[in-house]
Amino acid sequence: MVSHPPIYNQEHFDLYQRYQAMRHPGGGMDDPDPQKYINFLGSRSIRTVFYEMRHLEKLLGVAVTDVLPDGLSAVYTFFDPAEKRRSLGSYAVLWQVELARQQRFAWLYLGYWIKECRKMAYKGNYHPLEILQDGLWIEAQSAHKGTGA
């Protein structure tokens, strides 16, 4: 993957709009405003990197990643909805796990997880998995015994 700074890029924005229109229509994030887009994905207080996924010259996806003192944070990934068969979201998470390992970070944070939210269910597929509950990091299995999480 090729890294880019978190600045407006028309090719990225076009892909983001297609992704939002297909994956999250009417969800409030499909506003075609470039400033809202970059404000949502770019951080001014943390180092943010946009990693491009390409096949030949075609942009397939972008993994937005924050670099933290102790790890990486998988902020958001968007990809070409026509390329669903490639499992680009899963690929992005696994690639970020490997990037964190290469950079000798202990953690890849997958962000907020609302267990009841179908679109966040993928986060439970990665192990080991810890969640912050009542101010403590605990293994997800011990926090959700019997729930299938």
The maximal CA–CA distance of the chain, rounded, in angstroms, is 46
| Pairwise pLDDT comparison (35 vs 121), residue with the higher score | 35
The verdict on 135 and 71 lying in the same domain is: no
The verdict on 31 and 104 lying in the same domain is: yes
Q: What is the pLDDT of residue 23?
A: 75
How is the chain split among helix, strand and coil, in percent rounded to 5?
A: 35, 30, 35
How does 49-83 read in b/e, with b if 16+ C-beta sit within 10 Å? Answer: bbbbbeeeeebbbbbbbbbeeeebbbbbbbbbeee
The verdict on 35 and 6 lying in the same domain is: yes
SS3 of residue 72 by DSSP: strand
Average pLDDT over residues 44-54: 92
Q: What is the pLDDT of residue 146?
A: 40
CA–CA separation, 57 and 141 (whole Å): 42
Domain containing 56 equals 2-111
Taking only the tens place, the pLDDT of each residue in 17-32 is 998 888 766 665 556 7
Taking only the tens place, the pLDDT of each residue in 89-129 is 899 999 999 999 999 998 898 887 777 777 777 777 777 78
The verdict on 88 and 23 lying in the same domain is: yes
Which CATH number goes with the domain that contains 55? 3.40.630.30
